[in-house]
Amino acid sequence: MTDVDILCRNNVTVTGNPHGRTVVLAHGFGCDQNMWRLTVPALAADHRVVLFDYVGAGRSDPSAFRAERYASLDGYARDVVEVCQALDLRDVAFVGHSVSAMIGVLAAGLAPDRIGSLVMVAPSPRYIDDEGYRGGFSAADIEELLESLESNYLGWSAAMAPVIMGNPERPELGEELTNSFCATDPDMARVFARTTFLSDSRDDLKGVRVPTLVLECTQDVIAPREVGAFVHRAVPGSVLVTLDATGHCPQLSAPVPTNTAITEFLSSLR
């Protein structure tokens, strides 16, 4: 794969200040780079901002999808490293939302020269409760989630609308329903969901060797505060900031404190 192929595969966009530190913004499950639309303006003046979509999300190249590659978070981490290589990025600050926070940890392990710091937004290294660990979900919860995805419940995804309606001659019908926001291919989303919600990356946290900021929300049904505390404890030398925000997407529900926490962390880096 050439560099251009990789940049097309992941729909990479580069914006902001070309002379600033490079910040890679990585979306989580069920979303695409639109997730960062309130973050980019806060970073663009002083940072070069790199955005991308994971394969299967947004405007990535669906033909690049390989179920076996993306059956583990490593596959996504390799994509991140390849994007960094294609742009020859070094010492980037990797801002990962939700499952992407863990993908960033894995990518930093794969390419330490590429990734120099991590911002973990609402991270969770394991969603399912375990002995002495509360991830917020029971195994049955996650089974139900995966089952609902597998049976393509409309309840789950507005991306189902075009699948059911099958209206290629009137794409606007599908677009209206999905609101063209965080577009995700349902089949590929199923693979990503399984990879995400069955993952257990707790052991990877202690291997982090770069400055790390952990951002959690006061009320997050996906990643409860116990999980934020766990990540903070496990990542050596990490900083934990609890945002006064509800929900799992503080970059949208509380953009100002989120952006402030990120920019303060970035300016603290040498």
Residue 58 within binding range of another protein, rule CB under 8 A:
no
87/249 with CB nearer another protein: 249
Identify the bridge partners of residue 184 per DSSP, sorted by sequence position. 57
62 belongs to the binding site for another protein (CB under 8 A): no
Q: Which stretch binds another protein (CB under 8 A): 26-34, 65-73, 75-83, 200-208?
A: 26-34
Assess whether 63 carries a catalytic annotation.
no
Query: Taking Cα atoms as reference points, which of 246, 206, 229, 251 lies closest to residue 96?
Result: 251
Eight-state DSSP code of residue 64: G
Least distance (Å) between residue 239 CB and another protein? 24
Choosing from 32, 220, 232, 238, the catalytic residue is 220
Single out the residue of 124, 129, 85 nearest to residue 103, CA to CA: 124
Q: Catalytic one among 98, 100, 199, 238?
A: 98
Measured from the CB atom, is 148 or 242 closer to another protein?
148
Note whether 247 binds another protein by CB under 8 A. Answer: yes
Q: Which two tokens stand for residue 41?
A: 């303006």
Number of alpha carbons in the 13 Å side-chain half-sphere of residue 43: 32
Backbone angles phi, psi at 249, to 5 degrees: -125, 75
The dihedral formed by the CA atoms of 106, 112, 113 and 117, expressed in degrees to the nearest 10: 80
Residue 103 binds another protein, judged by CB under 8 A: no
Residue numbers of the site for another protein (CB under 8 A)?
28-31, 35, 137, 141-142, 144-145, 148-149, 151-158, 160, 163-164, 166, 177, 179, 181-182, 219-222, 246-249, 252-253
